[in-house]
Amino acid sequence: QKYFNNIYENSVREKSQAKDHYQDKNGGNFFKLREDWWYANRETVWKAMTCSDELTGASYFHATCSDSHRSETFSQAKDKCRCDGAKSANADQVPTYFDYVPQFLR
């Protein structure tokens, strides 16, 4: 909350309409601001979390990569938790099953 309070204060200072848009009705929760921040930064955060060389052989528990001509066949993302870039146009995208986890659980 401390960080979103700082973002809120800076946003209101720079743009007065931000005060109405991010009106804090939840007593310091900044729900709308947190959701907008995540929408704007999720790809960068995802890359920061998964681009480490330490994750080269890591995979998530859920099969997300389509690796055949049959759409119902999937495998785990094993290249830094991404699908094989040579086979998938969406190799660098955040898996949707993590992307829509409620913010307070991230």
Residues in the chain: 106
Look at residue 106 in the predicted model and tell me its pLDDT: 53
Q: Is the pTM of this model over 0.85?
A: no
What tens digit of pLDDT does each residue of 44-54 get? 877 777 667 77
Look at residue 54 in the predicted model and tell me its pLDDT: 73
Confidence check: pLDDT of 58 > 60: yes
Confidence check: pLDDT of 85 > 80: no
Nearest CA-CA partner of 35 in 98, 96, 102, 95: 102
Average pLDDT, the chain: 67
Look at residue 40 in the predicted model and tell me its pLDDT: 86
Percentage of residues of the chain with pLDDT beyond 70: 42
Concatenated DSSP letters of 7-71 = HHHHHHHH-THHHHHT---SSS--HHHHHHHHHHHHHHHHHHHH--GGGTT---SS--EE-SSST
Task: Please tell me the distance from the alpha carbon of residue 32 to that of residue 15, in angstroms, as a whole number.
Answer: 16
Helix (H) or strand (E) holding 75: strand 74-75
